[in-house]
Amino acid sequence: MKKYITILLFPMFLLISGCSEQKKHCDIFNADTSHMSEIYKHYLLKKQKIEPLYELRVIEIDEKGLFLERYKFNELKKYIKQKTQIKDTLIYIKINGWQHDTSIDELSLNNFKKQLNNISNYVSKNKRDVIGIYVKLREEKTSMFRYLTFFNKKKSIHQVSNGNIIEIWNFLKKIKDNSVSDTKIVTVGHSFGADIIFNLMNIDNRAESNENHKYKKNLSGIGNLILLINPTFDALKYVEFRKSNNNKEPSSKNNPIISIFTSESDWITKYVLPAERIISNLFKQHNYMEATIGENKVLINKKIAQITSIGHFKPFITHRLEMTNKSISSTQYNKLIKNLKSDLVNGINPLNFDKTILVRNPIIKANTPYLVVQVDKTLIPDHSNIFGKEIETFFHDFLLLSINE
């Protein structure tokens, strides 16, 4: 009881803000250039003698789920359709949580540019182009209290998930399914952005459950990889999602499809969010539901699952990501992804990355398409600080591993 009282006191004292180079990329992309014509951008790049490594588009969505500038999405669709008809393409979309601190927001976007640059350098050898889509969630500032509070974001998550972002989601699914070239898609979400992606996947599940399928559907999410970092949704939602996908086959037999990474020291998802859930579930009765862990079917306490964020629900943790002192030389690094692919196929445990190791829970079968990863606090120290060199390197290599590049 004392534990619950302590947790309940958190929201009374806290006003949470939502989520408190191999080649130098051209400065032209440091500003929003989506309004420029492709010809003019390439002219500027040529003038500066810098080859464009990737294309970046920023799409802004408000709290009601509406595009701030729809023309940008229309231009993006046109560009992607043209590009995927003539070139193999990697589309990398990131949805970030709301940021009140503009410096963090800017850091996140600059970090995304750096990721695109590094990925472009790697996949260019396969003659693959890279398109980055950064979905920026904009917040109304009409009420200072509403602007600062954490829990009101839950309503906004629902609105955004059912708003114009569905158009982006459905468009990319069609591109993936109908592209004449080899198009690969990676979707990454952080914090509330991760929750929005998870909601979109559940919307897909509900739509599919209302259809009559004569064949077994594939589990593929959107594209080749869904990567969720410090998501805030609870473990019960994850149980229900897994149950709704029990009859689906992974679209890839060896690669992870949905991967959740949560810092063990993320106090927002560990303490603050459970406080809200404890209040809303205080007088509910305990009951249980069946869930699959590894090869075993077990009973899960629904009340505990509902007040615990997915990344902190120990029964569902499949892996742990840890820091190591073992670094990989530049010569070895060229073979890293190839070696990781081989180890993944052969069920090697742990998987050795550069300065990190991914350790699989022994009860979890190898090549599971669902990963729930507990991340060592030295790699991700809190909810928003996901920009350390070692964790960035890991996510870069994990992405390339997942898309078979």
pLDDT per residue as tens digits for the range 136-150: 988 765 444 444 456
Contacts of 331 (CB under 8 A, 6+ apart): none
Which residue's entry shows tokens 């590094």?
118
From the CB of residue 246, how many other CB atoms can be counted at a distance below 10 Å? 8
pLDDT digits (tens, 9 = 90+) for 350-362: 999 999 999 999 9
SS3 state of residue 323: strand
What does the pLDDT average to over 1-21? 45
- Helix/strand/coil percentages in the chain, nearest 5: 45, 20, 35
pLDDT value for 319: 96
Q: How many residues does the chain have?
A: 405
Which tens digits make up the pLDDT trace of 32-75? 444 444 444 544 554 455 555 899 999 999 988 999 999 999 99
Specify the DSSP element, H or E, that contains 373: strand 370-375
pLDDT tens per residue, range 145-177 = 444 456 667 778 888 999 999 999 999 999 988
H/E element holding 370? strand 370-375
CA dihedral of 19, 24, 27, 28, whole degrees rounded to 10? -100
pLDDT digits (tens, 9 = 90+) for 245-283: 765 555 556 678 789 999 999 998 888 877 766 666 666
In this structure, which amino acid lies at residue 261?
F
pTM of the complete model: 0.82
User: What would the mean pLDDT of 371-382 be, rounded to a whole number?
Assistant: 96
% of the chain with per-residue pLDDT over 70: 72
Q: What does the pLDDT read at residue 150? A: 61
Q: Which of 179-183, 211-215, 340-344, 376-380 has the lowest mean pLDDT?
A: 211-215
